A = this chain, B = another copy of it.
Amino acid sequence: MAKRLFGGIEGGGTKFICAVGADARHILAETRIETTSPAETLRRATAFFKEQEERFGKLSAIGFACFGPLDPNPASSTYGYVLPTPKPGWSNVNVVGMLRESFDVPIAFDTDVNGAALGEQRWGAAQGLDTFIYLTIGTGVGGGAFVEGSLLHGLLHPEMGHIPLKHDIQKDPFEGACPFHGDCFEGLASGVALEKRWGRRAETLEARHPAWELEAEYIAQALASYAMTLSPQRIILGGGVGSLPHLLPLIRQKTRERINGYIQSALVTERIESYIVHPGLGNRAGMLGAIALAEGAA
């Protein structure tokens, strides 16, 4: 029997990655589309999938892991919509409906970070786990979670970037960059916050710059908070800032210090290098996660 083929869309604020494949090891085609208007962007994604169907045969399902906020609840009247967002033109747009006009197959729809979490669970650093977090720290901060064997949605979906953290304004007078919460986690530690605080783009800050000690401190606070609240078996840390190799040892050390033995698991107290890790799929977690979403919907 021929392998089933899936379509995956990792829909980000600046680019859409679309791929067709059977699984992580069999990706047959992949493309990158600039994120413009919803109609234009989804038209180009649709054209890509149609072209691949000509070459490889019909898709069995499509997975769409999209930037949020969005409505992932199939029972809701706004299921498949991007919710009000600062991104011009994308508020209250039925992006799943746009795909349905062209594809009569199951379409799975979830946040980009839940998609990446599922990809890591299926083929990456979370294989065999039933409760873990996928956190991305880049321009913004977002988190997805797989909890007791299911992707976490709850009320809508998590907004993990926006938790309050301790902020010592003597040590760090920067007031925070979040338009909604000022000095929440994202407001203190996103790529945007780094650039505003230090007056240089994050990627130009050398590894020994004091920015990173402070950055690791905020990230460690956030990871300790998630560990206490959600009890993950692992935390996967990705994104442009989150993936920086020199940052990881500092984050691990400071997170363990923050938890201070209170979570009585050797994974935290002795093997924190297995507890806080980078994505097993690297920067392909989101795209492969979209394929995994499709697989689950087929």
Contact = CB atoms under 8 A, between A and B. Distances in A.
Interface of A: 69, 83-84, 130-131, 143, 147-167, 180-181, 183, 221, 224-233, 258, 260-265, 267-268
A149 B83 CA distance: 25
Given A163-B224, A165-B166, A166-B166, A229 B181 contact: no
A294 to B, nearest CB: 20
A162 B221 CA distance: 11
Contacts of A226: 229
Given A149-B150, A155-B233, A162-B228, 15 more contacts: A83-B264, A131-B153, A147-B147, A148-B149, A150-B150, A152-B230, A154-B231, A154-B232, A155-B265, A157-B231, A158-B228, A158-B231, A163-B163, A165-B166, A181-B260
Contacts of A228: 158-163
Assembly stoichiometry (copies):
2
Question: Which of A156, A162, A258, A265 has the most chain B CB atoms inside 10 A of its CB?
Answer: A162
Nearest to A150: B148
B156 A265 contact: yes
A221 B83 CA distance: 25
Nearest to A267: B155
22 contacts: A130-B154, A131-B153, A131-B154, A143-B229, A147-B150, A150-B150, A152-B231, A154-B231, A155-B231, A156-B263, A158-B230, A161-B228, A162-B262, A163-B228, A163-B229, A164-B221, A164-B224, A166-B167, A166-B183, A180-B260, A180-B261, A180-B262
A223 B269 CA distance: 27
A92 to B, nearest CB: 11
Of A224, A264, A268, the most chain B CB neighbours within 10 A belong to A264
Nearest to A130: B154
Nearest to A157: B231
A233 B150 contact: no
Nearest to A132: B154
A230 B158 CA distance: 6
Nearest to A165: B164
Nearest to A264: B83
A151 B130 CA distance: 13
Contact of A229 (B167, B229, B258): B229
